[in-house]
Amino acid sequence: MERERKYFGTDGVRGRVGEGPITAEFVLKLGWAAGRVLASRRGRGSVVIGKDTRISGYLFESALQAGLSSAGVDIKLLGPMPTPAIAYLTRTLHAQAGIVISASHNPYYDNGIKFFSGNGTKLPDDVELAIEDELDKPLHTVDSALLGKAERVVDAAGRYIEFCKATIPYGVELRGMKIVVDCAHGATYHVAPSVLRELGADVVKTGVDPNGLNINKNCGSTHPETMQRLVVENGAQLGIALDGDGDRVIMVDEKGELVDGDEILFIIAQARRNAGNLHGGVVGTLMSNLGLEVALKRLDLVLHRAKVGDRYVMEMLQQNGWKLGGESSGHVLCLDKTTTGDGIVTALQVLAAMVESGRSLNELKRGMEKYPQVLLNVRTEQKFDFNASHVVQEAVKEAERRLSDQGRILLRASGTEPLIRVMVEGADEALVNSTAEALADAVRRAYASQSS
């Protein structure tokens, strides 16, 4: 039986700044605990720290640095860098681990701490559990002569830019292509435009003026409306919207129509399949559109569905020995190119498919026909087990009866926000909409009854 974690969730430790566990005191202790575990396993070594652009990053960078130093571990500071860049630099700088200070697509008042192992993948479970064990012990500092030292990596952005460019075939250029890129006022603001420009594109950039408070605010992959407008106004071939830490991407075609993670996954899978570079199958999630499954089947590719969360997509890919997977949200794993979800690298794979096929993004995405799908969020500030609710379970049975075998229903708790997500998918759009509303209403009523 898997041991329950006290602090670590599916994606590190995350919460509202100033509220446990996202406090300066806890993060200092977390740095110390991580340092203790890493030093006990591989000697002194070093840990790289990177962050996104939210204002609390300064606070937690300093706290982590103090904690690691007190445990006798050296620190390499990357400054604002995309999460996948930190994974990459952890590997190439031969660090014991990488630490990311970010709450991804969440607002500025949230933050989080997540770790990468020395090979740029998520920390093994036994290391996370060992860190949790250390957190329960009193903090003590190593002898002054053994304290960790810190240095800033001044060429971090340049290293990562070159890595991104190298993930598409040599000779694939973007000359003559106008691209809108929305960096969500986040960690890619000084990287993504440079990657595209150096590959020859004419770049229209937005969301590149972070002030610590505007990360993800009405921009980026969760709010692509500005990018859609800019693509049409500028006559661009496409738009690329990244989230605050750069591990997700949503795209827009030349008509201003959204291209989500499922469609991006299909386009990359089709290009890999046509080139003979994709073997086995593709991993999606329980939220992946049924249209993706149907389109992949036409390519003689199987889709396996993992639980929602890139952690579970990664686990299923590794179990099957496959290389390509992702989520509808735009978190795509191209394990033949890098070790984690990377919005810039993912977008480049789509751009390479466009250049090599001579087809527009709209033409490429039309190979997959999406089924009507509705996702509604019900906010729950307190813990709520909807599976134990008679009201919710009766509503689910009624919804399944209405849809029969022409659709899917999924209720799940978000792993990153206090939400219950209600998803309904099927061939009849009107039926899908009414069913989703009825289910969400049942969840709201059941939660209100518990809270009163």
Domain ranges within the chain, ordered by starting residue = 13-155, 176-257, 260-370, 373-451
Q: Residue 63: what pLDDT? A: 98
* Domain 13-155 fold: Alpha-D-Glucose-1,6-Bisphosphate; Chain A, domain 3 (3.40.120)
Domain 260-370 and domain 373-451 have a common topology: no
Phi first, then psi, for residue 42 (nearest 5°) are -135, 15
CA distance 27 to 157: 25
How crowded is the C-beta side of 202, counted as CA atoms within 13 Å? Answer: 9
The C-alpha angle with vertex 58 and arms to 309 and 71, in degrees rounded to 5, equals 80
Cβ burial, residue 137 (10 Å; 0-12/13-18/19+): exposed
Pick the CATH number of 260-370 from 3.40.50.150, 3.40.120.10, 3.90.25.10, 1.10.10.10: 3.40.120.10
Q: Residue 284: what pLDDT? A: 98
Q: Residue 2: what pLDDT? A: 59
Phi first, then psi, for residue 366 (nearest 5°) are -70, -10
Q: Residue 388: what pLDDT? A: 87
Q: Residue 311: what pLDDT? A: 86
Superfamily of domain 373-451: Alpha-D-phosphohexomutase, C-terminal domain (3.30.310.50)
Indicate which residue of 56, 104, 221, 329 is catalytic. 104
434: annotated active-site residue: no
Q: How far is CA 75 from CA 146, 149, 160, 199, 370, in A?
A: 13, 6, 19, 33, 46
Q: Residue 449: what pLDDT? A: 83
Q: Residue 103: what pLDDT? A: 95
Q: Residue 407: what pLDDT? A: 82
What class, spelled out in words, does domain 176-257 have in CATH? alpha beta
pLDDT along the chain (452 residues), means of 10: 74 91 97 93 87 98 98 97 97 96 96 94 89 94 96 97 96 95 98 98 98 97 96 98 97 97 98 92 93 93 92 94 96 96 98 97 96 91 85 93 86 84 91 95 90 66
Amino acid (1-letter code) at residue 443 = V
pTM of the entire predicted model? 0.89
Phi first, then psi, for residue 250 (nearest 5°) are -120, 140
Q: Residue 452: what pLDDT? A: 63
